[in-house]
Chain A
Amino acid sequence: MALTLLRRIGVFVATLLAASIVTFVLLSILPGNAARVALGIDATEEQVAAQEIAMGLDRPALERYADWFGHLLVGDFGTSAVSQQEIGPQIGDALGITAVLVVSSMLLAVLFAIPMGILTAIRQRKPDGVILSGISQIGVSIPGFLAGMLLVTLFAVTLRWLPAGGWSDPGDGIWDFVSHLILPAVALGSVQGAVLSRYVRAAVLEVMRDDFLRTARAKGLTPAQALLKHGLRNAAVPVLTVLGVQIAALLVGTVVIERVFAIPGLGSLLLDTVALRDLPSVQGIVMVLVGLVLVINLLIDIAHTVIDPRLRSAT
Chain B
Amino acid sequence: MRSHRRISSVAVATAAVIALALTGCTGGGNTDGDAAAPTDLSVGLIASPASLDFTTTAGGAIPQALLYNVYEGLVKINNTGDIEPLLASDYTVSEDGLVYNFTLHEGVTFSNGSPFTAETVKFSLERVADNWTANGPGYLSPISAITVVSDTEVQITLSTPSNSWLFNMAGPVGTMFSPDGVDALATEPVGTGPYTVTAFSPGTSLDLQLRDDYWGDAPYMTEVELRYFADANAQSNALLSGDIDVVTQLSQYQLVSQFESNDDYKVQEGSSTGEVTLTMNNQSAAFADVRVRQAVMFAVDRQAIVDTVNSGYGTVLGQMAAPTDPWYDPTLVNLYPFDPERAEALLAEAGVSDLTVALKVPNLPYAVAAAQVVQSQLADVGITVETSTLEFPAVWLDEVFTKHDYDMSIISHNEPRDITLFAAPTYYAGYNNPDVMSLFAQADAADPETSIDLMKEATTVMAEEAAADWLYLIPVVSVADADLTGVPLNAPTLSLDLSTIAR
Contact = CB atoms under 8 A, between A and B. Distances in A.
Interface of A: 30-34, 36-43, 45, 47, 50-51, 80, 82-85, 90, 93, 149, 152-153, 156-160, 162-167, 259-262, 264, 268-269, 271-272, 275-278
B397 A41 contact: yes
B391 interface: yes
17 contacts: A31-B399, A32-B394, A32-B398, A38-B57, A40-B59, A42-B415, A43-B134, A51-B133, A84-B186, A85-B187, A163-B241, A164-B237, A164-B241, A167-B204, A264-B204, A272-B202, A272-B230
A38 B50 contact: yes
Contacts of B240: 156-157, 164
Nearest to A47: B133
Interface string B1-19: 0000001001100100000
B142 interface: no
A262 B135 contact: no
Contacts of B59: 40
Contact of A42 (B136, B186, B233, B399): B136
Contacts of B184: 84
A179 B256 CA distance: 27
Interface string B197-240: 00001111100000000000000000000011111011101101
A167 B205 CA distance: 11
Contacts of A34: 394
Contact of B230 (A41, A42, A271): A271
Interface string B392-431: 1111011101100000000000010000010000000000
B233 A31 contact: no
B159 to A, nearest CB: 20
A148 to B, nearest CB: 9
B243 interface: yes
Nearest 3 interchain pairs by C-beta: A40-B58, A32-B394, A84-B186
Contact of A83 (B50, B134, B136): B50
Contacts of B243: 156, 163-166
Interface string B228-264: 1111011101101111000000000000000000000
Contact of A262 (B56, B231, B394): B231
Interface of B: 7, 10-11, 14, 48, 50-51, 53, 56-59, 133-136, 138, 184, 186-187, 201-205, 227-231, 233-235, 237-238, 240-243, 391-395, 397-399, 401-402, 415, 421
Contacts of A163: 238, 241, 243
A84 B397 contact: no
Contacts of A50: 133
A84 B187 CA distance: 7
B223 to A, nearest CB: 14
Contact of B398 (A36, A47, A159): A36
A33 B398 contact: yes
A268 B227 CA distance: 14
A275 B50 CA distance: 10
A160 B421 contact: no
A160 B11 contact: yes
B229 A38 contact: no
Contact of A32 (B201, B235, B391): B391
B51 A32 contact: no
Nearest to A180: B243
A259 B46 CA distance: 12
Contacts of A38: 50, 56-58, 134
A43 B204 CA distance: 27
Contact of A160 (B14, B204, B231): B14
B393 A275 contact: yes
Contacts of A33: 394, 397-398, 402
Contacts of B135: 40, 42
A84 B53 CA distance: 10
Given A32-B395, A40-B59, A268 B230 contact: yes
Given A166-B238, A262-B234, 12 more contacts: A30-B394, A36-B401, A38-B134, A42-B136, A43-B58, A43-B134, A83-B186, A93-B201, A153-B237, A262-B235, A264-B205, A271-B230
Given A42-B136, A43-B58, A261 B234 contact: yes
A34 B229 CA distance: 23
- The residue in A31, A39, A149, A164 that gathers the most chain B C-beta atoms within 10 A of its C-beta is A164
